[in-house]
Amino acid sequence: MNRAELIEQIKQKRSFLCVGLDADIEKIPAHLKELEDPIFEFNKAIIDATKDYCVAYKPNIAFYESLGSKGWISLEKTLAYIPKDIFTIADAKRGDIGNTSILYARAFFEHMNFDSITVAPYMGSDSVLPFLTYKNKWVILLALTSNEGALDFQFMTSNSSGLKLHEKVILKANTWGNKDNLMFVVGATRPEMLKAIRKIAPDNFLLVPGVGAQGGNLEEVAKNGMNKECGLLINSSRAIIYADSTENFAEVAKEQARKLQEEMKIYLDSFGI
């Protein structure tokens, strides 16, 4: 999916919501566990319930890998089930040397046809460039994450440029890619940081995890992070998909997604998008 198509989806649905498909076999409703592929059945129900209120789905690959080859099959089926006009994110946080990145690109962009993949920047250009050779596919590079450990290295300040590591990552990566194939992960727990990041990445889409369970505030994120084409994908996982654990889980998930979409509509309207 290209940038224009993504923006069009956001305008039509009045939403920049991404639903995190973190399907955990230990958390899904009990009645699903008797079915042949409980993880896929769970995702299918969540997708049916939320697809009108979100513009992206983001399976966290760890949840599928933890089940071995069976989990991988559930993931393949889930991908095939997501409507084609919804942006898909493989939350894989891969990062390796060039010939290995080529294989990861093959896995996620060809074998499974994801629109995008999250990538870790530590190993530099080799980890990013192979993904950028695909047309209408995206790298979503970790910049400022929302976890506690973000403080360990991401705020280290360079003695030559004065840049923090996450700022250097953003500036350097925008010499490899651009707003048409490169987004950044920016945590929502520090909305004031979003403003600083918008100064050095005015045009890239930002994927903001952590609204809901991880404590981010949607209004603050919109105020500090939105640009004239929206430029935000805000993820919510647990607060939607595990809002209810009974047979009624999909209905409750729908309600949670709808509420977030309604709030997002207000911010899109007020930004004239």
Contact 116, 137 (CB under 8 A): yes
80 in contact with a copy of itself (CB under 8 A): no
Q: Select the span of 31-39, 49-57, 148-156, 191-199 touching a copy of itself (CB under 8 A).
A: 148-156
Catalytic residue among 93, 172, 179, 265: 93
Residue with smaller CB distance to a copy of itself, 124 or 203: 124
142 in contact with a copy of itself (CB under 8 A): yes
Cα distances (angstroms) measured from residue 255 to each of 51, 96, 236, 242, 252: 12, 40, 13, 12, 5
56-59 and 116-119 strand pairing: unpaired
Long-range contacts of 265-268 (CB under 8 A, 24+ apart): 265/14, 265/15, 267/218, 267/219, 267/222, 267/223, 267/226, 268/10, 268/11, 268/14, 268/16, 268/230
Q: How far is the CB of 29 from a copy of itself (least distance, A)?
A: 19
Q: Select the span of 6-14, 42-50, 98-106, 254-262 touching a copy of itself (CB under 8 A).
A: 98-106
169 in contact with a copy of itself (CB under 8 A): yes
Which candidate, 215, 210, 253, places its Cα nearest to that of 232? 210
94 in contact with a copy of itself (CB under 8 A): yes
Q: In 237-261, which positions are buried (b, 16+ CB within 10 angstroms) versus exposed (e)?
A: bebbbbbeeeeebbebbbbbbbebb
Residue with smaller CB distance to a copy of itself, 209 or 225: 209
Cα distances (angstroms) measured from residue 118 to each of 3, 88, 186, 206, 249: 17, 11, 12, 12, 28
Q: Select the span of 33-41, 99-107, 197-205, 249-257 touching a copy of itself (CB under 8 A).
A: 99-107
Q: Select the span of 8-16, 39-47, 62-70, 222-230 touching a copy of itself (CB under 8 A).
A: 62-70
273 in contact with a copy of itself (CB under 8 A): no
Cα distances (angstroms) measured from residue 18 to each of 3, 54, 270: 16, 6, 20
239 in contact with a copy of itself (CB under 8 A): no
174 in contact with a copy of itself (CB under 8 A): no
Residue 93 annotated among the catalytic residues of the structure: yes
Q: How far is the CB of 72 from a copy of itself (least distance, A)?
A: 4
| Residues labelled catalytic | 93
The residues that touch a copy of itself, with contacts defined as CB under 8 A, are 24, 60, 62-63, 65-70, 72-73, 76, 93-98, 100-101, 103-104, 106-107, 111-112, 120-128, 142, 145-154, 156-160, 162, 165, 168-169, 172
